[in-house]
Amino acid sequence: MHDATQRIMDRVIQLDSNQTEFIQAVTSFLNSVDKLVDDIPQLIYHKVLDRIVEPERAIIFRVPWVDDDGQMQLNRAFRVQMNSALGPYKGGMRFHPSVNLSILKFLAFEQTFKNSLTGLALGGGKGGSDFNPKGKSDGEVMRFCQSLMIELGRHIGEDTDVPAGDIGVGGREIGYMYGQYKRLYNKSVGILTGKHPSFGGSYIRPEATGYGLVYLSAAMLDAEGKNLQDKSCLVSGSGNVAQFTTEKLLKMGAKVLTMSDSSGVLIDPSGIDEEKLAFIKTLKNVRRGRIAEYAQKYKEATYIAHNGSATSNPLWDVKADYAFPCATQNEINTEDAKHLVANGIQLVGEGANMPTTLDAEQILMDNGVLLAPGKASNAGGVAVSGLEMVQNSQRLQWTPAQVDAQLLTIMKNIYSNISSAAEKYSTKNNFVDGANIAGFIKISDAMLAQGYV
């Protein structure tokens, strides 16, 4: 690493030594943009790199709420407003016990470059809480969301910061938060995306991250003379991204063999077809059940409970053509990467944010596996969120076909941009470098133009 970029890396480690996820994200980013330092010296002279790794603002606050037994509960919540060079902060809210400042800073950092790749006027941010909606009643979730918005509402706005959903935050939670914002501020404006279409939401928004992942992966494969037709695929997770990744893969003729949740892994050698996917959607979205029930209903499937001491995930040791990690960060480690390579995986398309560790990432690329990095491949969700903001500003609602067509165009443009950046500044098909560099150049140009802010 160049002396200048190493200095920045050392400073991040010194200031945030306990923030492992954030350090990982910055390391990956600096490894890529290190290639630009000699060609674009103003990045160092004007300390663009120093500034871009530091959030513009990080807000931490408590959220008191009352459970169904009348007992007061307390959670911690955050909003990290990372970078507004290109537009209002944009990024989801995550409700999960694992949420902390390191995870949200890494997500906000990744979001900044992801948003820039969409071509829309969006800055980067992320937020959330260690509140766990699993096992909570609708009333408890509503009271928590309303309490959270009392504080969050003063920090967001349609031209300032526009949150969306993420893990643990779907249409239900977005609706409760939006309703409370209207109640507090007496305004019906687009301060949240992911709303139901009946009150300002965009069609295709729930599907967008999964669909976009498949669109970008298909573009990468097409450039190599390959496609998805009749190819076997591994998908991890069983939430929104995994469901709609599977749906779009099926529509494009692929066969999906796996899904998972926090309790274990599902392997179905006969394939998860449309009927089985409909069962999973009802199981996870309506009943909020566990993926193990799938194997009870469909006897051809195998369910493997997670082993807390295991060094690898059995899902990534299934022979297939392509893999789509859609669960959470760092779910593919070095052992998993070795299994993927040994089993002939030709492409890994990241549906989750940073689902591959740095070492695993290198193993995949060294062995010729096409790697679609999350900041590019899962940008479809925020792209349609940006389109939802446009519709809200115009007081219009586009048809599903109109939104889907724009999503496809955006994802194809992202592929073109990251591919060109990889060839110009790094090596062909190094899409990790391509995504980091293409996103960074756009943001750095805006930061230089706007002065030392």
Please give the pLDDT value at position 308: 81
Residue extent(s) of CATH 3.40.50.10860 domains in the chain:
56-188
Please give the pLDDT value at position 359: 95
Please give the pLDDT value at position 42: 78
Residue extent(s) of CATH 3.40.50.720 domains in the chain:
208-377
Mean per-residue pLDDT for 131-135?
94
Give how far Cα 412 sits from Cα of 216, 347, 370, 419, 427, Å.
6, 17, 16, 11, 20
pLDDT per residue as tens digits for the range 402-424: 999 999 999 999 999 999 999 99
How many CB atoms lie under 10 A from the CB of residue 278?
Answer: 12
CATH placement of domain 56-188? 3.40.50.10860
Which residue among 90, 105, 126, 231 is the active-site one? 126
pLDDT per residue as tens digits for the range 20-67: 999 999 999 999 999 888 877 777 778 999 999 999 999 999 999 999
Classify each residue of 222-245 as buried b or exposed e, where b means 16 or more C-beta atoms within 10 Å of its C-beta: eeeebebeebbbbbbbbbbbbbbb
* Neighbouring-strand partners of residue 372: 349
Distance of CA 196 to the CA centre of its chain: 20
How far is 332 from 350, CA to CA, in rounded Å? 10
Please give the pLDDT value at position 353: 87
Mean per-residue pLDDT for 150-169?
96
Q: Which of 363, 330, 364 is nearest to 345 (CA)?
A: 364
Is residue 390 scored above 90 in pLDDT? yes
Give how far Cα 67 sits from Cα of 73, 142, 220, Å.
7, 10, 48
Strand, helix or coil for residue 119: coil
Mean per-residue pLDDT for 350-377?
95
pLDDT per residue as tens digits for the range 68-92: 999 999 999 999 999 999 999 999 9
327: left (phi over 0), alpha (psi -120 to 50) or beta: alpha
How far is 285 from 290, CA to CA, in rounded Å? 11
CATH topology of domain 208-377: Rossmann fold (3.40.50)
pLDDT per residue as tens digits for the range 426-443: 999 999 999 999 999 999
Please give the pLDDT value at position 309: 80
38 vs 223 pLDDT, higher one: 223
Task: State yes or no: is 126 an active-site residue.
Answer: yes
Please give the pLDDT value at position 43: 75
Is residue 329 scored above 90 in pLDDT? no
Mean per-residue pLDDT for 319-343?
96
Please give the pLDDT value at position 231: 98
Average pLDDT, the chain: 95
Please give the pLDDT value at position 91: 97
Mean per-residue pLDDT for 214-234?
97
Please give the pLDDT value at position 68: 98
How far is 135 from 31, CA to CA, in rounded Å? 41
Is residue 115 scored above 90 in pLDDT? yes
Question: If you count them, how many residues does the chain have?
Answer: 453
Q: Residue 307's pLDDT band (boundaries 50, 70, 90)?
A: confident
Determine which of 41-45, 174-178, 364-368, 379-383 has the lowest per-residue pLDDT on average. 41-45
Please give the pLDDT value at position 60: 98
Please give the pLDDT value at position 7: 93
Please give the pLDDT value at position 2: 80
